[in-house]
Amino acid sequence: MSEAKASPLLVIGAGIAGVTAALEAAEMGSEVVLVEELPSIGGRVMRINNYFPKLCPPSCGMEINTRRLERNPRIRVMTSSKVTAAVKTDSGWAVTVTTAPAFVNSKCTACGDCAEACTTMVPDPHNLGLNEAKAIRLPHLNAWPKRYVFNREAVSDNEAKKIADACGFGAIDLDATETTEDIEVGAVVVATGWRPYPLENLEDLGGDIDDVISNVQMERMASTGGPTGGKILCPSSNEPPKKVAFVQCAGSRDVNHLNYCSGICCLASLKQATYVKEQIPDAEVTMYYIDRRAPGRNEDFLLKVAEMDGVDLFKGKVGRIEKVKKQLKLHVEDVENVKLIEADADLVVLATGMVPNAIDDDLALFTRKDEEGFVLDDLESGVTVAGVARRPEDVASSVRDATGAAARAVIAAGGR
Ligand SMILES: Cc1cc2nc3c(=O)[nH]c(=O)nc-3n(C[C@H](O)[C@H](O)[C@H](O)COP(=O)(O)OP(=O)(O)OC[C@H]3O[C@@H](n4cnc5c(N)ncnc54)[C@H](O)[C@@H]3O)c2cc1C
C-alpha cells in the first residue's frame, strides 16, 4: 500500500532557528523550502563577535549547519527572497515567493576580480552601516552561499559595465530582474527573528551621542571583520576607552519603549565586559543594572565576570546620559543607598533589547501575534514558530525551540 506524499514545509527566515528547523525537518524526511530575505544565511548570530556560553565565534556553529545543508537534497534555500503573498488552502498554504534581481548568479566563484574593478563605496550593512564597503562585495567573511552581492543602483552604468567585464566567469548579469514563484506547502515555520531596539529612540540615554553605542554595535566593533578591525575605540577620538559603562535595560522593561525583558542583554554585556578587559586590561568597567538576569547554567559566567579585576556590577538605574566637555556623564539612581549619583565614562554601551521582525509583517501567515509583536503558533492553520520570532531567547534556546517547531510542522504537513 502506498502512503500519501506529505507536502513540503516552508521555513521563513534562515537565522539559527530557521536553519535548524529546516535541517531537522529535512532529516526527518520532509521536503523543505527555506526562504531568507538577505543574500546569505545565519541571521543576527553572524554579526556576533563571540557567543556565550563558550565564547566561540559564530562561524563554528554555522559551519556544521552549512555542511548539513549542502549534504541534504531535500532542502531548497532561496536567498534574497520574501514571501509576498499567502493564501490558506485545504492542504496548507499557497505562497508567492519574490526574489530580488540576481545581478550576481551562481557562477560566482568569489574570486574578487569584480570588486577590484569597483570604486563605489556604500554603507556596509553587515557592520550596521558603521563603515563603508565596495558596492560589489562578499556580504561577510563566512557568507553562505559564498557569492558576491551587488548594489547595482549605487553605481553608474559605465562602472557597472566595467565590473561585469572584470568577471571571467559570466557571473554578473546586469539585466537581471525580480522573479516570483508560486509554491504549495503543507505547513509553515515562522523564524523571522529580531532587530535591535533603535538607539534613536533613546535620546535621554544619549542615543544620539557619538561615544554612546549599542550592544549590537559593540559586537561589530570587537570583531576582526568589523569597522575598526576588532579594536574597541571611542568613536569620537579613535582612542581606546579607559572607562566603559554598560547600561542595562536601555529601553527594556519600560512602558515607554519595550515592556519586556529580552533575556539575553545581561549576559551580552557580561560577555562584552570580557572583550574590553582582554583588549584593555587597565580599563574600568561598570555595569549598571536593575536586576542581574543570567538564567540556568549561565549564572557561572556571571559570577566569573563579576570577580574580574576592574569590573564592577552596580545596582543602579541610569536615567540620563549627557556629554560635558568631551566626558560622558551618567545620572544614576543608586538603588541600595537610595540616592542619585553621577558617574563618568569614556564609552557607554546601551544594552538594547530585541524587537520581533514580525511586528510589522502583515501577511496572513503572521496574524496570530501577542501584544509585543511576537508570533504565536496557529497549528490549525499549519503555522508554527521558532526562535526569537516567538520570544526573546539565546542561541541554545532558539535551537531547541526550532527542533520542536520542526516536529510540529512535519505533523501538520501530514509527514508523520
Ligand atoms: C547584543 C546581543 C548579543 C548576543 N549575544 C549572544 C550570545 O553571545 N550567545 C547567544 O546564545 N545569544 C546571543 N544573542 C541572542 C541571539 O542573537 C539570538 O538568540 C539569535 O539571533 C536568534 O536567532 P533567530 O534565528 O531566532 O533570529 P535571527 O538571528 O534574527 O534570524 C532571523 C532571520 O530571518 C530573516 N528574516 C526576517 N524576516 C524575514 C522575512 N519576512 N522573510 C525572509 N527572511 C526574513 C532575517 O534576515 C534573519 O536571517 C545576542 C543578542 C544580542 C542583542
Position 4 scores a pLDDT of 53
Position 163 scores a pLDDT of 98
Ranges of the chain with pLDDT below 70: 1-5, 415-416
Position 352 scores a pLDDT of 98
Nearest CA to ligand 1 atom 3: 268
The mean pLDDT value of the chain amounts to 95
Ligand 1 neighbours (beta carbon < 6 A):
12-18, 35-38, 43-45, 48, 51-52, 82, 191-194, 215-216, 219, 264, 268, 271, 354, 357, 361, 387-389, 393-396, 398
Grid coordinates of 228: 575598526
Residue position matching grid coordinates 498554504: 93
pTM for this entry: 0.96
Distance CA 291, CA 312 (A): 14
Ligand 1 nearest-atom number relative to CA 38: 47
**E runs forming strands in 199-290:** 212-214, 243-250, 284-289
Position 415 scores a pLDDT of 65
Alpha helices by DSSP H, listed for 337-416, are 395-412
Judged by DSSP in three states, 176 sits in coil
- 90-103, pLDDT tens digit by residue? 999 999 999 999 99
Long-range contacts of 379-385 (CB under 8 A, 24+ apart): 379/408, 379/412, 381/88, 382/92, 382/93, 382/186, 382/187, 382/188, 382/409, 382/412, 382/413, 383/187, 383/188, 383/190, 384/187, 384/188, 384/189, 384/190, 384/408, 384/409, 384/412, 385/189, 385/190, 385/191
* Ligand 1 binding pocket mutation candidate from 357, 390, 401 (most atoms within 8 A of CB): 357
Position 138 scores a pLDDT of 98
Q: Which of 116, 77, 111, 113 is nearest to 97 (CA)?
A: 77
Amino acid letter, 69: L
Exposure class string for 7-38: b at 16+ Cβ within 10 A, else e: bbbbbbbbbbbbbbbbbbbbebebbbbbbbbb
